[in-house]
Amino acid sequence: MDELTFHTRLHDPGTILDVGAHDGLLAVPFSRLTGSRLLAFEPLPSAFARLDAAMRAAHGGAVPPHVALRPLAIGAAPGTLTLSVPVLEGVVQEQWASAAKDYAGFDSVTVQRHAVEVVTIDSLGLHDLALVKVDAEGFEEEVLRGAAETLRRCRPVLSLEVEERHRALSTRDVPALLAALGYAVRFHHAGAFHPIESFDAATMQVASPDPAVFAASDPYIFTFYAWPVERDAEIIARLA
């Protein structure tokens, strides 16, 4: 099950957060879910420009009133950070843009660096958060730490891309943080959801941290799903 199917099946009216919206692959369909307000965050300027253009194209030339696009990063505390983007043979690898790693030591790449403003999810003061999607290239733990109060208050469902190649032990630490907040964490493989305890990074997620190395394990599982433990039976039924 992909992220869009997951969130569509579990859709409830309320606020949607897309953290790391890139060029709108999920933000655009999220904007069409009924009864929702979408806040989409993308700190990389080139990707944000495409996000804005895609959203306008999808809604008759203007960003609709229920959608807010923000060129900001999400983190554990407000301030600024450096977003590092590797460049491979002259091609900017936007999908690797990260605040968690600086790509030092990789001889095959050069690096673009962007100073970006950071806000926390908790600073948004949300009371109806229903859905969160996080794609932060190793910065997921900081995103969640800055969202702890909101997650306790609103109990949204989440999908997160979490990869060891961007941050060692992240497939252990991010689920542990979510568990401490009262969340069940699962992954989808071979047509079924499995508890995080059955995930083995050594066989299910093997890839190089070097953006010039493209080989990866089969399977390569990097999308994880989380929901409040008190809603487990309800959500499993809705996903069936």
- The answer to whether the CB of 57 falls within 8 A of the CB of 44 is no
Q: What confidence tens digit (pLDDT) does each residue in 54-78 have? A: 999 999 999 999 999 999 999 999 9
What integer is the mean pLDDT of 93-109? 92
Confidence of residue 81 (pLDDT cuts 50, 70, 90): very high
Domains identified in the chain, total number: 1
- Rounded CA gap, 136 and 125, in Å? 21
pLDDT over threshold 90, residue 6: yes
* 156: preceding bond cis by omega (within 30 degrees): no
CATH number for the domain spanning 34: value is: 3.40.50.150
The average pLDDT across 110-129 equals 97
Residue 107 confidence (pLDDT) above 90: no
pLDDT higher than threshold 90 for residue 95: yes
At 108 the pLDDT is 85
pTM of the model: 0.96
**Angle, alpha carbons 22-154-12 (nearest 5°):** 70
First-to-last C-alpha distance (Å) of the chain: 11
Q: What is the pLDDT of residue 236?
A: 94
- Matching residue, tokens 């407000």: 78
Q: Which two tokens stand for residue 75?
A: 């983190």
The pLDDT of residue 116: 97
Q: Which domain holds residue 86?
A: 3-239
Per-residue pLDDT tens for 207-231? 999 999 989 999 999 999 999 999 9
Q: Which residues make Cβ contacts (< 8 Å) with residue 139, sequence separation at least 6?
A: 73, 75, 98, 99, 100, 167
- How does pLDDT run across 170-205, given as a tens digit for each residue? 999 999 999 999 999 999 999 999 999 999 999 999
Give how far the C-alpha of residue 111 lies from the chain's centroid of Cα atoms, to the nearest Å.
22
Q: Tell me the pLDDT of the chain averaged across its residues.
A: 97
Query: With 90 as the cut, is the pLDDT of residue 121 above it?
Result: yes
Tokens of 237: 């039924």
Rounded CA-CA distance 211/195 in Å is 29
3-class state of residue 168 by DSSP: coil
